[in-house]
Amino acid sequence: MADRTLDVICICGSLRKGSYNRMVMNALPGLAPAGMSPMEAPPFSEFPLYNADVQETSGFPPAVLKLADAVRAADGVIFNSPEYNFSIPGGLKNAIDWVSRVPNQPFAGKPVALQSAANGALGGGRMQYDLRRAMIFLDALTLNKPEIFIGNCSTRIDAKTGEITDQQTVGFIRQQLAAFAKFVVQHGPRS
């Protein structure tokens, strides 16, 4: 483990208040190993649709720079995202597209872990492979295993309390976070 706390930011791909993925994200501090501190990333909900003309005429919106800075400053990034139509939710993809155009591209060399909760049986697996592909283009270092796919999520997470009630899922998340902490240290946390 590193000789200081690993700061990991979590980007939630769902904007809705009652998001299961947000509930998973909120549970992470309680499931992370000692020495890892997961916290929510600055929001992307106000990002305009990516348009290179806007970038060239007005520059990057402040909210984009804020998220880009947070990604750059973090030791690692965890995505907590649903799957929309077998792929990455549009809002999240738009956020990644904006951040990817910021100079000194923030995802380059950044340790990344993926988690998804979805109502389908595959738990967002198809979204994860698309997100993995985007991260390859950006030269991020995405953790291979353990993978977290929370299928039929409404049966594993209590929508009222936000608690992950399925203990097998809790165990898998703990294992992934422990592996991610080692992965971050191995691949070089920010100095």
Torsion of CA 125, 129, 135, 141, to 10 degrees: 80
- Contact between 129 and ligand FMN by CB under 6 A: the answer reads no
Instruction: Give the nearer residue to ligand FMN in terms of CB position, either 14 or 142.
Output: 14
Binds ligand FMN (CB under 6 A): choice among 6, 9, 19, 64: 19
Q: How far apart are CA 64 and CA 101, in angstroms?
A: 10
Whether the CB-CB separation of 26 and 94 falls below 8 Å is answered with no
- Interacting residue with ligand FMN among 118, 143, 148, 184 (CB under 6 A): 118
Cβ atoms of 154 and 121 within 8 Å: the answer is no
Distance separating alpha carbons of residues 142 and 115, to the nearest angstrom = 12
Span near ligand FMN by CB under 6 A; candidates 38-46, 64-72, 115-123, 140-148: 115-123
116 binds ligand FMN (CB under 6 A): no
Q: Determine the interface stretch with ligand FMN among 33-41, 61-69, 111-119, 166-174 (rule: CB under 6 A).
A: 111-119
Residue 184 host element (H or E): helix 167-187
Binding site for ligand FMN (CB under 6 A): 14, 16, 19-21, 82-86, 117-120
